[in-house]
């Protein structure tokens, strides 16, 4: 026990040492720009057209635009890390700028971006953007990883004579059985759960894996995919569509004309139940988005304290709390995937529930 405690202390000490080296201990010099915490946080949690690895080292991604002149493609490195709209990329007689990771097309004859009082571009428009951003790349990467993992797990069953998996299959089996026995069957029922298992398993592992990717700080292709409201909205809409189209007459009857309830209460509760149809997927969307984003914001805020206060003594405390929050985040990424899957199964079960 003492050995483990000592090792943990050494780990935190060295993390603090490196953080202190980055922070420095010098006094603020007149003319130094204050550290912009907001810029650091939003740069990390928002989507972009390239992966920033370290310093000026970035991994560019393809920019794919549809314009009046047809399809335009080029690599994001053409912008030379400029997100202020100063670097112009010319393709097919059109000019493009990167303005805070949003691609704009300059109007004909323009050579620079002009802004209004609210800093909105007034001489540029957004083309249709089908670019492979870091969130899209991370999503494709997670899909490939999941395919490889599940195919390897399936092969481990085929190779076993006793129907006992080996390798990755042995790791995956308890999780799959848990989703089946603790999520699908109790909420959907033994008669209907089997047809929803592929979706529920895909949902759980897809969210969990992408949450893990976003949690690894030094992973070259780390992206805050689950902290993107469009991503969580898409998953919630899929759950909403399945629930809506599978709902039987008893499900709709309980929404619009609840049995066993006085008529005057039916007239009062029916609008509330109808709104609940849309509130449920909204709750799914916001819960996942808010929890994952909050974890990233807290960790980055704690690290930023070192650079904001410019003090050696802040580094150990900041890193200690960062390690503590990061450990909690390891649990949160799995719990949020579980909750999203559990609530989706619950909604499916409500839609298919028979009359009692």
User: pLDDT, tens digit, for every residue of 254-279?
Assistant: 788 887 778 788 788 888 889 989 99
Lowest mean pLDDT across 102-111, 144-153, 231-240: 102-111
Q: Looking at residues 45-62, what average pLDDT do you find?
A: 80
The residues spanned by each domain of the chain are: 48-132, 135-352
Lowest mean pLDDT across 32-46, 63-77, 78-92, 290-304: 32-46
| Residue that wins the pLDDT comparison between 312 and 178 | 178
Q: Looking at residues 217-223, what average pLDDT do you find?
A: 66
Say what the pLDDT of residue 24 is: 42
Q: Looking at residues 198-203, what average pLDDT do you find?
A: 94
Taking the model in full, what pTM does it have?
0.82
3-state secondary structure the chain: CHHHHHHHHHHHHHHHHHHHHHHCCCCCCCCCCCCCHHHHHHHHHCCCCEEEEECCEEEECEEEEEECCEEEEEEHHHHCCCCECCCCEEECCEEEEEECCEEEEECCCCCCCCECCCCCECCEECCEECCCCHHHHHHHHHHHHHHHHHHHHHHHHHHCCCCCCCCHHHHHHHHHHHHHHHHHHHHHCCCCHHHHHHHHHHHHHHHHHHHHHHHCCCCCCCCCCCCCHHHHHHHHHHHHHHHHHHCCHHHHHHHHCCCCCCHHHHHHHHHHHHHHHHHHHHHHHHHHHHHHHHHHHHHHHHHHHHHHHCCCCHHHHHHHHHHHHHHHHHHHHHHHHHHHHHHHHHHHHHHHCCCC
pLDDT tier for residue 18 given thresholds of 50, 70 and 90: very low
CB distance 61 to 75 below 8 Å: yes
Share of the chain above pLDDT 70, in %: 87
Q: Over 70: is that where the pLDDT of 4 sits? A: no
Sign of the torsion angle spanned by Cα atoms 211, 212, 215, 221:
negative
Say what the pLDDT of residue 79 is: 87
Pairing relation of β-strands 94-99 and 89-91? antiparallel
pLDDT tens, position by position, 60-98 = 899 999 988 889 999 988 888 888 888 888 988 889 988
Q: Over 50: is that where the pLDDT of 26 sits? A: no
pLDDT tier for residue 199 given thresholds of 50, 70 and 90: very high
Lowest mean pLDDT across 22-36, 78-92, 191-205, 315-329: 22-36
Q: Over 80: is that where the pLDDT of 41 sits? A: no
Lowest mean pLDDT across 7-16, 152-161, 308-317: 7-16
In DSSP terms, 72 is beta-bridged to 65
Q: Over 80: is that where the pLDDT of 296 sits? A: yes
Q: What is the dihedral of CA 42, 336, 321, 41, to 10 degrees?
A: 0
């Amino acid at each position: 026990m003492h050995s483990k405690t000592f090792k943990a202390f050494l780990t935190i000490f060295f993390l603090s040492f490196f953080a202190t080296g980055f922070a420095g201990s010098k006094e603020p010099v007149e003319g130094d720009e204050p550290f912009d915490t907001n810029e650091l946080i939003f740069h990390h949690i928002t989507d972009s057209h390239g992966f920033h690895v370290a310093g000026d080292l970035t991994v560019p991604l393809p920019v794919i635009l549809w314009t009046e002149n047809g399809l335009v493609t080029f690599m994001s490195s053409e912008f030379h890390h400029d997100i202020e709209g100063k670097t112009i990329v010319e393709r097919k007689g059109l000019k493009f700028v990167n303005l805070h990771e949003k691609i704009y097309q300059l109007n004909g004859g323009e050579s620079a971006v002009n802004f209004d009082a609210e800093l909105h571009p007034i001489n540029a428009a957004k083309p249709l953007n089908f670019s492979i951003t870091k969130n899209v790349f991370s999503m494709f990467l997670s899909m490939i990883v999941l395919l490889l993992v599940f195919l390897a797990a399936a092969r481990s069953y085929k190779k076993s004579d006793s129907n006992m998996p080996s390798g990755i299959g042995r790791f995956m089996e308890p999780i799959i059985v848990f989703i089946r026995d603790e999520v699908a069957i109790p909420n959907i029922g033994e008669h209907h759960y089997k047809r929803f298992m592929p979706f529920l398993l895909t949902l759980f592992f897809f969210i969990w894996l992408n949450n893990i990717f976003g949690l690894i700080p030094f992973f070259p292709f780390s992206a805050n995919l689950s902290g993107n409201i469009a991503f969580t909205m898409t998953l919630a809409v899929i759950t909403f569509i399945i629930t809506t189209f599978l709902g039987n007459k008893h499900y709709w009857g309980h929404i619009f004309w609840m049995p066993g309830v006085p008529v005057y209460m039916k007239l009062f509760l029916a609008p509330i139940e109808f709104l609940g149809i849309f509130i449920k997927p909204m709750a799914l969307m916001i819960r996942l988005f808010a929890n994952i984003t909050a974890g990233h914001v807290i960790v980055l805020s704690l690290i930023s304290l070192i650079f904001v206060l410019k003090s050696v003594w802040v580094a150990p405390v900041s890193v200690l709390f960062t390690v503590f929050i990061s450990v909690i985040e390891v649990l949160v990424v799995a719990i949020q995937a579980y909750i999203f899957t559990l609530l989706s199964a619950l909604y499916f079960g409500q839609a298919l529930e028979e009359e009692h």
